[in-house]
Structure 1
Amino acid sequence: MSAPLLQLDGVHTHIGAYHILHGVDLQVARGELTVLLGRNGAGKTTTLRTIMGLWPASSGAIRFDGAEIGALSTPEIAHRGIAYVPENMGIFGDLTVRENMLLAARGAKRVEDIDTACLDRVFGLFPALKRFWQHPAGLLSGGQKQMLAVARAIIEPRQLLLIDEPSKGLAPAIIQNMIAAFRELKQTDTTILLVEQNFNFARQLGDKVAVMDGGRIVHAGTMADLAGDEGLQQRLLGLSLAAHQ
């Protein structure tokens, strides 16, 4: 087996006086979608933010593509090929969709400088963005804003996407559109670490799964194994995935 693209070993994170992550051990396989599950407050978002350097780890090691990145700044981590889509999406509502995309394409000074193949791929995944290209992003629907947030993350080649609850607050029909887009994105061999509370969404997309509780990883394995074991679901998550289909 090849080495994981991302590996966390014994990662602790403190935020002020609060000890949030208590020795997280996590591996994200290259070219796969790993889902990070857990109850509210388990430490999932903190894990993503720690990987991205937004909240520095107090101790432990974070390795990306074989190199230690735990001491790097967020811009340096992004430059290595990691993109982060936060739960609040991070788009600029006063700017147009076009302007949001241009800001995300760091190597471009004009839209014409954006790689045509990348832009075509974005429009293929999210056709609504092409329709609303000149519209202020703040006027988009919740689903369209989420599409824009993901599109900003992939407008340049990335090795790893960190995505926090992309289906939160979306209507069921829009969630299905997002699932279809993520399936297409998976075909490009993009590696994804996804935090998600919608278990049907997670079940349909995940290759691997890690479950957090109390700031630690308490289970890691394949999504197929977790989806097929209701007893394990009840023990780890307090619910059944079947109830969320």
Structure 2
Amino acid sequence: MSNPILELSGVHTHIGAYHILHGVDFAVPAGEVTMLLGRNGAGKTTTLRTIMGLWRVSQGDVRFQGRSLKALATPEIAHQGIAYVPENMGIFTDLTVKENMLLAARSARNASELDTQRLEWIFGFFPALRKFWLYPAGKLSGGQKQMLAVARAICEPRALILIDEPSKGLAPSIIQNLVTAFNELKRQKTTILLVEQNFMMAKALGDSVAVMDNGRVVHTGAMRELAEDDMLQQRLLGLSLGAHQ
């Protein structure tokens, strides 16, 4: 494993009276894609939200580039260079695509200050965003909204991107565009922590993997090793990746 950019050590999270995370431990290597897998309700989304400070760490620590995040508010965490694409996409439906992108670009005060070279790079993966640049985001299709959510996260270089189930409900052609975009980000040494239920996408993208069950990490290792071991998949996930070929 290369040097970790993110480390969770004994992380517990309570939401009201409910104890959701029970001592989560794993590290995210810099410049790689780490898959966070597990059955529904295992705690994957709560883990991402805890990293972002949307839920507070009740015990343990989250460290990013060696600095603890647990006492920081969500905007402060974002300013460390972490972007988050939630499962519900988090776009502003009443604003145009352009306005959504401008809000995500911290270095631009108006559209003329957006990095046009980077925009062209993003449009190469998601051409629909160019076509609907002046449309309200709420009028986009589900796939187009997901494109916008990812585009907002990568409109400026980030050190780490947390992404929650980006392929959910998308057509295979759009999923392939996402895979291409994420592979290009990986080539640029952007670190990605990705929750995903599409196991072929996980296999195509993942370098390392952490598998969760009942609020705990029950397995860590190379994604390739998990993808090649049907018995391990059955034990950890209750299914075989081979069935999704």
Q: Which residue does 2:125 correspond to in 1?
A: 125
Q: CA deviation at 1:46?
A: 0.2
Bigger shift: residues 31-40 or 123-132:
123-132
Separation of aligned partners in 2, 1:173 and 1:196: 17
CA–CA separation in structure 2 for the residues paired with 1:2 and 1:186? 14
Q: Which moved more, 1:166-175 or 1:233-242?
A: 166-175
SS in 2 for 1:217: strand
How far did 1:122 drift?
1.6
| Residue 66 of structure 1: aligned partner | 66
Shift of 1:173: 2.2
1:41-97 deviation line (CA, Å, top 9, x unaligned): 000000000000000110101110111111110000000000100000011111111
Look up the match of 2:195. Answer: 195
Quote the residue 2:81 is aligned against: 81
The answer to whether residue 8 in structure 2 is matched with residue 8 in structure 1 is: yes
The two structures have a TM-score, normalised by structure 2, of 0.97
Separation in 1, partners of 2:150, 2:175: 14
Structure 2: distance between partners of 1:243 and 1:176 = 19
1:4 deviates by 0.4
Q: Is the 8 A contact 2:125 2:177 kept in 1?
A: no
Instruction: Say which SS state the counterpart of residue 95 (structure 1) adopts.
Output: coil
Q: Structure 2 unaligned runs (5+)?
A: none
SS at match of 1:5: strand
2:173 maps to: 173
Structure 1: distance between partners of 2:122 and 2:178: 13
The secondary structure found in structure 1 opposite 2:150 is helix
- Partner letter of residue 13 of structure 2? T
C-alpha contact (below 8 Å) 1:87/1:166 kept by paired residues:
yes
Q: Which amino acid aligns with 2:141?
A: S
> Is the contact between residue 125 and residue 184 of structure 1 (CA under 8 Å) also seen in structure 2?
no
1:185 equivalenced with 2:185 (yes/no) = yes
Q: CA RMSD in A?
A: 1.1
- Paired residue for 1:204? 204
How far apart in 2 are the matches of 1:9 and 1:107?
A: 33
SS in 2 for 1:71: coil
Alignment of 1:1-245 (within 5 A): 2-245=2-245
Q: CA deviation at 1:2?
A: 4.4
Match of 2:182, SS state, is: helix
**Structure 1 length normalisation: TM-score?**
0.97
Identical positions, percent: 72
In structure 1, stretches of 5+ residues that fail to align are none
Looking at structure 1, the residues matched to 2 and 90 of structure 2 have their Cα atoms a distance apart, in angstroms, of 33
Q: Which runs of 4+ in 1 moved over 4 A?
A: none
Amino acid at match of 2:198: N
